[in-house]
Structure 1
């Protein structure tokens, strides 16, 4: 059965390491017959949440930016892929701002299959768990959602270094199995 897959690439660089893994996931998922859309968050205008709660009751944020469209796609997706480079053992600002802005409609983002992609210069998987816990904290707020897989793109500092790692094949295969 074909699924709607939404990939949210938090990479600050197009064709950066985490973005490359998003493309690999996308290719695998498309090969499996799924409908896939990748959003490169850095190209979008997304204001940081200021906790004004104008969204309470109607789900409409006070800021008129690209987040409303992204939120609708998150609500409609069957599968959501969250991807981020690791900065100081946490997710980066681009993906964190997006997560925070889901407050307007997060209760509608339910029953999703969730995949996580992270990249880092460090090679220690246990150290990467800190970043994954950021994604898991968000997932805990999405009723009925399930973590389905993680790609650890470790050992890649400079742009393009990820292409020499096993994470490339892992991301492709995970997309195929989504």
Structure 2
């Protein structure tokens, strides 16, 4: 069982990185594989909306931009589960995460459907007041729903709850991995 953890924050030592580390610890402690993808370290351009708004993403399910997108996309296709961890910017996911998901959504919804019914764990990390964390998760889930992906759980980590939420993420990662293997039915 392999789980891919996609995370985005420019701060490698901040709250988002700590959340990512804790969920990976939980996945590994359950005896499963975890691979992390740090979007801020990838070469990932924004969608160009080529071809009058739709390029080969619509006809071939691919993107014409030659960067790290295709390799990350393939890792998600091969993964048994996906964890998305994002810092919260302006009540939303990071710009790196948005750029990646915009391109992914075009390939998935227009043609491929490779990620349909993938069960995902969603984590939003807000270092400020935390007011935007819930909206961030909502926006992320709405994007995933366009691709017929499913949120298994949605967790917020803010500077005021990190003392108990970071340890909770270990248990969340462990439980998520076990549920992927055992199976679970989710309805939207």
**What's the TM-score once normalised by structure 1's chain length?**
0.87
Name the SS for the 2:56 alignment partner: coil
Count of matched residue positions in the alignment of Structure 1 and Structure 2: 167
Are 2:134 and 2:156, in contact at CA under 8 Å, matched by a contact in 1? no
Write out per-residue CA displacement over residues 70-98 of structure 1, whole angstroms, 9 at most, x where no aligned residue: 00011111211111111121111011111
Aligned to 2:154: 150
- Between 61-70 and 87-96, the greater mean CA deviation after superposition: 87-96
Are 2:6 and 2:37, in contact at CA under 8 Å, matched by a contact in 1? yes
5+ residue gaps, structure 1: 157-161
5+ residue gaps, structure 2: 177-188
List structure 1 runs of 4+ shifted beyond 6 angstroms.
Answer: none
Name the SS for the 1:56 alignment partner: helix
Aligned to 1:159: none
Aligned to 2:129: 122
Please report how far the alpha carbon of residue 147 of structure 1 lies from its aligned counterpart in structure 2 after TM superposition. Answer: 1.3
Aligned to 2:89: 87
Aligned to 1:42: 40
**What's the TM-score once normalised by structure 2's chain length?**
0.82
Greater helix fraction, Structure 1 or Structure 2: 2
Are 1:83 and 1:95, in contact at CA under 8 Å, matched by a contact in 2? no
